[in-house]
Amino acid sequence: MPPAMFQHHLQFQRQVIKDRILREQQEEAHRTAVDDRIKSENHVLFERILKEYGNILPDRVSAETHLISLPSGSRQVSPLREDQLSEYRAHLQKMITGAIVTNDADDLFLVENEEKASRTDAKLDHQPEIAAKSGKFCGLCKGGCCTAGGNDALLDVRGIRRFMLSHSELSPVEVMEAYLARVPEQSIEGSCINHTSTGCALPREMRSDICNGYFCDAVKAHNSLLQDSPEDRVIAIVRGYANFRKYHEDADHSVQEVAILDDRMLQLIPAINL
């Protein structure tokens, strides 16, 4: 390569690196600004709730009450489109075929997902108080993480194979029919094909390992707190952004609702009252 061309190429690569570093710094600054703003707003809300409800619910609202900020799923439902169903059917066919004739089920990524889901199940089985609280959090959020499901519901070869082994009486065609029979007529707009206004249309054994093993960062952090203090009181602030869109420029960070909850009750406070 001629020296002049080499220098031009070198300068170009340096600029690419500088641009990438600058972009990463800007993105990090944006994430920090979003987190700081939400944290500040949450503190103001917490103090307001403490003042207004501390005397009414002294056993549930105090300075020791934990605070959790949750994302939220869309509430808008829409009729299932034929193209969604066709895409889902094609994915199921591919996964069922793969479960029968290939070794894709031994993929390291899929194994890790299965192990993660198994660990989550074991933890929830042995700590029912964490399972109950996590369920309440997910119920308040209503599927803010389910947007990742799309029209394949994150179903993979390993999960399908496990379902087929546990239901060996079903033929591949019947396995397909079992999944298709559970597709809702209406699902949450822009979310997983199986995401309904009342939760997932699939029973837990038919869901993907990713779905069964996943908790958002907020719930994971709170579950860690419960290891030492299982009987806690919580104020949950539910915001308008989906779990994976928190830092998008058009993300809705507005407060949708607030809930006061413990192991025995859950009381919703409409955001308009705050």
Residue extents of the structural domains in the chain: 37-71+217-273, 77-213
Residue 29 pLDDT level (bands cut at 50, 70, 90): very high
Q: What backbone phi and psi angles, to 5 degrees, belong to 198?
A: -110, 10
Comparing CA positions, the residue from 161, 148, 139, 168 lying closest to residue 72 is 139
**What pLDDT, on a 0 to 100 scale, did the predictor assign at position 46?**
92
pLDDT at 130: 79
- Residue 224: pLDDT over 80: yes
Buried b or exposed e, range 113-139, using 16+ CB within 10 angstroms: bbeebeebeeebeebeebbebbebbbe
Choice between 169 and 11, residue whose per-residue pLDDT is larger = 169
The model's pLDDT over 164-176, given as tens digits with 9 standing for 90+, comes to: 989 999 999 999 9
Q: In this structure, what are the phi and psi dihedrals at residue 200, rounded to the nearest 5 degrees?
A: -80, 135
Burial of 155 (0-12, 13-18, 19+ CB in 10 A): buried
Q: 58 pLDDT exceeds 90?
A: no
Q: How far apart are CA 173 and CA 115, in angstroms?
A: 28
Confidence of residue 103 (pLDDT cuts 50, 70, 90): low
Between 226 and 228, whose confidence is greater? 226
User: SS3 helix, strand, coil % of the chain, rounded to 5?
Assistant: 55, 10, 30
> What confidence tens digit (pLDDT) does each residue in 133-156 have?
888 999 999 999 999 999 999 999
* C-alpha to C-alpha distance for 152 and 156, rounded to whole angstroms: 9
pTM over 0.85: no
Pairing of strands 234-239, 66-70: parallel
**Quick check: 229 pLDDT over 70?**
no
The pLDDT assigned to 2 comes to: 77
State the average pLDDT for the chain.
Answer: 87
pLDDT at 126 over 90: no
